[in-house]
Amino acid sequence: MTKLLQRLGGFSSGWRLLQTAIGTIISAIGVIVFLIPSQIAPGGVSGIAIILHEVIGTPVGIMTLIFNIPIQIFAYRVLGGSWLIISTIFSVVIFSASVDILPAFVSTHGVSENDLLNAIFGGIVGGIGSGLIYGAGATAGGTATLSRILQHKMGIPLSSAYLYTDTLIIGMAGLVFGWEAAMYAIVSLFISGMVADYVLEGPSVIRTVTIVTDYPQEVSKAILGQLGRGVTSWEGMGMFTDQPHTVLFVTIARPQVATLRHVVFAVDPKAFVVIGQGHVAYGRGFKTAPIPKVDG
């Protein structure tokens, strides 16, 4: 283990492996407590394992591991021995063991008989686990690894690859458990993705603003003076009017939106302003956090 940590980057990688393990165990708890009791298989290799568990009684953890072995071997050959593959193998082993061992300590009868509640909370718990795993630079294996292979070999966008693989598995679940269970699986998958994004990126507390104006100096000075935010500018061309304009870009905190709107239109009532959501900003005036190195 020591040699592996040294190869992957030492102390930092040790913490990332710990974060991967914690996220994986949380994901396993979500499967055991919420998904399996309601026969919900929200995509992934674990979804196939849940289907087989209900049909022929095979252990979910062992089947997840068995299905992942050829996938990870193939991924290792195609993508190389990167941190992603090594940490994903670690995650798969932890998940498989947890799903089969934790039932000795956690109730497998679920906390609710309401399938919709189980789908919702299964997605929430699974999303928390997935967010921690992704934040450590790993994946949960299975279809996540297959999706990366499809992206690498065939140029298929990662989001589309996820959609294809998970849709196929949810369709199989619909044939086995009924289409109502498949709809619950879609609900759980959707919530899991949203929660994972929230855990990974944080709450949407900033706003990114694009301003098209003919008074860039005045608008920029007003923003800097009233909000204390820096502004980036570049020249643009209005293709409808065929007239040149200056484009300004500024990142602000959510409570500053009303003030910025007032400041901009007080200077240039004809300005064109687009306000978008952001999750996190790094740099002066915002977070100063080092980005962990992910070995490729």
| Total count of domains within the chain | 2
Same domain, 117 and 190: yes
Same domain, 130 and 224: no
* Rounded alpha-carbon distances, angstroms, from residue 17 to 5, 88, 198, 240: 9, 10, 21, 53
Q: pLDDT tens for the chain, 296 residues: list them.
A: 445 444 444 446 778 889 889 999 999 999 889 988 888 887 788 888 888 888 888 888 888 888 888 888 887 777 666 666 777 888 888 988 988 888 877 776 777 889 999 999 999 999 899 888 887 777 777 777 777 777 667 766 656 677 777 888 888 888 888 889 889 988 998 898 888 878 877 776 788 999 999 999 999 999 988 888 889 999 988 888 888 899 999 998 877 888 889 899 999 999 999 998 877 777 776 766 655 554 44
Residue 231 in any domain: the answer is yes
Q: What is the pLDDT of residues 217-237, one digit of tens each?
A: 999 999 988 888 889 999 988
Same domain, 152 and 79: yes
Same domain, 195 and 65: yes
Same domain, 223 and 148: no
Residue 290 in any domain: the answer is no
Same domain, 157 and 242: no
β-strand pairing of 232-238 with 272-278: unpaired
Burial class (CB in 10 A: 0-12, 13-18, 19+), 139: buried
Same domain, 128 and 38: yes
Which three-class secondary structure state does DSSP give residue 268? coil
Residue 294 in any domain: the answer is no
CATH number at residue 240: 3.30.70.120
Same domain, 73 and 156: yes
CA gap 192, 183 in Å, rounded: 14
Q: Cα–chain-centroid distance for residue 143?
A: 14
Same domain, 136 and 261: no
Using alpha carbons only, what angle is made at residue 85 by residues 82 and 86, rounded to the nearest 5 degrees? 85
Of 143, 170, 201, the last residue of a domain is: 201
How many other CB atoms are found less than 10 A from the CB of residue 241?
A: 8
- pTM for the complete prediction? 0.70
Same domain, 102 and 231: no
Domain extent, residue 266, equals: 206-278
Residue 99 in any domain: the answer is yes
Same domain, 181 and 224: no
Largest Cα–Cα distance in the chain?
A: 72
Of 185, 201, 217, the last residue of a domain is: 201
Residue 286 in any domain: the answer is no
> Are 164 and 119 in contact, with CB atoms under 8 Å apart?
no
